[in-house]
Chain A
Amino acid sequence: MTIAFVGGTHRTVPLPLRERLAFSGEQAAEALRRFRDRFPGRECVLLSTCNRVEFYAAGESDAAPPAREQLVSFLAECRGIDASLLGPVLSGESDEAVVRHLFSVASGLDSMVLGEPQIVAQVKQAWALAQESETAGPLTAGLFQAALRTAKRVASETALGRERLSIPSVAVADFARGVFERFDDKRVLVLGAGKMAHETLRYLREAGARDIVVLNRTAERADRLAERLGGRPGTFAELAAELAAADLIVSTTGASEPVVTLEMFGAAERRREGRPLVVLDLAMPRDFDPRIGSRPGVWLYSIDDLGAACEANRKSRQREMPAALAIIDEETRRFMGDLHHRSTAPVIEQLRAGWTETGEAEIERLFKRLPGLDEAARAEIRQSFERYAAKMLHPPLTSLRNESHSGPPHGLLDALKRLFDLKE
């Protein structure tokens, strides 16, 4: 049994080539079908995402998967790329290295953003497509199920994917949610049209925010923004009133001076009746006078504050790497042990068949010599023979299983074949 793989990621394949190499869903299905026709009896799965294209192939010893060069040529042919361009940038692995690699990929350890969770869904999709295209089989089934199990373990037993890494997600989940329990009864004020406002509002909407006011210098631009962001438009003339009414402010203007000064906020503060205010000042230079952050009940976060929290989260994810790698090691060893044990199946089958055959012959001989036995006695004798055979086979099979954990048990298999005269 062999598992092989060729593939490239954002680290190895330049973007222009990666764009040409990427497979859409239909193209991937077509490639899988083509592989099935060209290499019958082999299994394959194609994983194509924004950052990686990886082709996994597997086969039994009598139908081994194609060699690396063949797989590279196959991918190049599918995408109409010169194979000589792909050869140097696609890496190839086999057996244990493939297993370890896939487990790392599924767990997000090989992703551009360490620990990102989307890759699990992409691995599942790739596996589902292989099943639909009838290129999946028992080997790839075991491999991908083990990969998904490993990803689940890494996600639940480490904090690798827990901390958020983007500024909008950190701003909403780690800070705004720390202040407010719910957002459906909160007024969200958006100042300006910065890029991050849209992304931050997406998270706020997911959290339940409905009452959104968008203010801009010009009414037309505010209208367009409000329509795009799903809010109510307004102009900066309403700023003082909206400051008093808002519970959460997302500010992303391109102003060179603070849009909200301490004096301006002081005037609004008196009308706020002590309600807490979260300000996500995502503008550079800052839109809010930093002294506003020291006012009671105001939680002001600048882009640097949020960036520092993101960086801390990133480092926290890095610290989880050893624990994640330990899980991947453990799961790889387990999978390889199972795989090696699978390779012993024909020998075990023969061994069992030999014992059963001999046992049956002996039983028949015994029954002929003892014709007076009733059905119950015969059944009892049969059961005794079966139990005896199972007990006698147990020690060699256990040794075989144990030996499989440290690699293919060739020595034991040869010994069994010679001792019991088993045929290949």
Chain B
Amino acid sequence: MPEFVSRISVVCFAASYLVALACEASRLVFRSGVRGAVMVAFASAGLFAHTLFLLCRAVDTPAVPLSSAYDWYLLAAWVLAGGYLWLTASNPKTPFGLFMLPIVLGLIGAAQLSSRDPFPQSPATQIWGTIHGSFNLAASVAVAIGAIAALMWLIQAGRLARKQAPAQGFRMPSLEKLSLTARRAGAIAAWTASAGFISGLVLNAVNLRRGLLETVPWNDPVVLRMGALVAWLVAAAIVSRSVARRPDGARTTAWLSLVSFAVLTCSILWGVLGPTRHGVPPVAPAAAASESAAAGEAAP
């Protein structure tokens, strides 16, 4: 890797996205002929730096590339940032950045609070770990996209109900498109989150049976929160599908998508801040013994 690549930091691309977000916000205040170009330039520069940063991490990590919580959050942010750039280039009049970039920055923030250590791996369970992480990543991105479409739907529906012409610089896609996007994103989120959860269970079961690595207890907070999230996403997708042919079905789907995003956010915060054995490296026998002794002494 060239030397300049190793000097790229999270601040580089986060700052670029922040400038692009400021440009998006300025749409609401004034018109400008060059803003679109500036916005795309900063977002492109950010995405380029983001890509190089992830490549650098992938090359430098001794374990499977991008296998820490830190990397997964950055990867989810990268997917959304790429989506933002594509949408902005193809629909320059729609302020997608106002909705997408805060989530991108939020994911980057979550990455900063997360562990950079790779998840413990063994050759036997590596594939299950990758499947588990990939599906969870896809589910997170799908939930975020569904929530963005839902929020835009509610804003657009509010404008149409108030019988107002679109505000300057704030032209939303049609309700038809937004509703379809939210519904599809919800369905994809339910499928991928389920697959991610099941693959996680398989991974844990294999570890448990073979005694390969530190297993996650079945009542670990991460298992419970992921289970709750999957249950919610599946229920939301079923409800959304069942109300699709009702006059207020699109509104119901929009609210369900927003609640899904709230549940996901709580889940991420819980994961980042709460206690868990998920992703913790195996404890050496000697250390485990001393830990047990210490625990015994501390107990009344």
Q: Find chain A residues with CB under 8 A from B31 CB.
A: 157-159, 323
Check A175 for interface membership: any CB of B closer than 8 A.
yes
Interface of B is mostly: loop
Interchain CB contact under 8 A, A179 and B176: yes
> Cβ of B175 and Cβ of A274 under 8 Å apart?
no
- Restricting to B143-167, which residues have a CB under 8 Å from any CB of A? 156, 159-161, 163-166
Question: 0/1 per residue, A292-305, Cβ < 8 Å to B?
Answer: 00011111010001
A309 within 8 A of B: yes
Would A174 and B251 count as touching, CB distance under 8 A? no
B174 at the interface (CB under 8 A from A): yes
Does the CB pair B177–A274 fall under 8 Å? no
Q: Determine if B174 and A308 form an interchain contact, defined as CB atoms under 8 angstroms apart.
A: no
Q: Interface digits, A119-162 against B, CB 8 Å rule (1 contact, 0 not)?
A: 00000000000000000000000000000000001001111001
Cα–Cα distance between A273 and B166 once the two chains are bound (Å): 28
Over the window 249-278 of chain B, the binary record of Cβ atoms lying under 8 Å from chain A Cβ atoms (1 yes, 0 no) is 111000000000000000000000000000
Is B211 interfacial (CB 8 A cutoff)? no
Report yes or no: B174 in contact with A181, Cβ–Cβ below 8 A. yes
Most buried by B among A178, A298, A316: A178
Given contacts A159-B31, A179-B176, A181-B177, contact A299 B160 (CB under 8 A): yes
When the two chains form the complex, which single residue of A163, A276, A296 contacts B175, counting CB atoms closer than 8 Å? A276
Residues of B within 8 Å of A156, CB to CB, are: 33
**Given known contacts A157-B31, A181-B173, A181-B177, A273 and B245 CB-to-CB distance under 8 angstroms:** yes
Cβ-based interface call for B122 (8 A)? no
The number of chain B residues with a CB under 8 A from chain A is 27
Given that A180-B174, A181-B176 are known contacts, is A269 also in contact with B168, CB under 8 Å in the complex?
A: no
B250 near A276: Cβ-Cβ < 8 Å: yes
Q: How far is the CB of B251 from chain A (nearest CB, A)?
A: 7
CB distance from B264 to the nearest CB of A (A): 27
C-alpha gap A305/B160 in the complex (Å): 11
| Interface pair B32/A274, CB less than 8 Å apart | no
Please judge, given known A-B contacts A273-B245, A296-B247, A297-B248, whether A159 and B175 are in contact too, CB under 8 Å.
no
Q: Does B172 contact A (CB under 8 A)?
A: yes
With A174-B166, A308-B163, A313-B165 already in contact, the answer to whether A180 and B248 are too (CB < 8 A) is no
Q: Is B246 an interface residue (CB 8 A)?
A: yes
Asked if A178 and B248 make an inter-chain contact with CB atoms under 8 angstroms apart, the answer reads: no
CA distance A301 to B172 in the complex (A): 19
Instruction: Give the residues in chain B near A163, CB-CB below 8 Å.
Output: 165
Q: Is there a chain A Cβ closer than 8 Å to B18's Cβ?
A: no
Chain A min CB distance to B232 (Å): 24
- List CB contacts (< 8 Å) of A269-310 with chain B: 269, 272-274, 276, 295-299, 301, 305, 308-309
For residue B55, CB closer than 8 A to chain A, the reply is no
Measured CA separation A396–B161 after assembly (Å): 66
Bound complex: CA A399 to CA B21 (Å): 44
Whether A392 sits at the interface, judged by CB under 8 Å, is no
Say whether A312 contacts B175, CB under 8 Å: no
Chain A hits for B164, CB < 8 A: 309, 312
Task: Given A179-B174, A181-B173, A299-B160, answer yes or no on A157-B32 (Cβ-Cβ < 8 Å).
Answer: yes
- Is A170 an interface position by the 8 A CB rule? yes
Given contacts A158-B31, A163-B165, A276-B250, contact A180 B245 (CB under 8 A): no
Least Cβ–Cβ distance between A58 and chain B, in angstroms: 30
Is B244's beta carbon under 8 Å from chain A? yes
Interface contact A295-B163, CB-CB below 8 Å: no
Interface residues of A in 61-107 (CB under 8 A from B): none
Q: How far is the CA of A308 from the CA of B165 in the complex (A)?
A: 9
Q: List 22 A-B contacts (CB under 8 A).
A: A159-B168, A174-B166, A177-B174, A178-B156, A178-B160, A179-B175, A180-B175, A180-B176, A181-B174, A181-B176, A182-B176, A269-B247, A274-B244, A274-B246, A276-B175, A296-B248, A297-B250, A298-B247, A305-B163, A308-B163, A312-B165, A313-B165
9 additional contacts, CB 8 Å, given A180-B176, A312-B165?
Answer: A163-B165, A164-B165, A174-B165, A175-B160, A269-B247, A273-B245, A276-B175, A296-B246, A313-B165
Closest 5 CB pairs of A and B: A297-B247, A296-B248, A296-B247, A181-B174, A274-B245
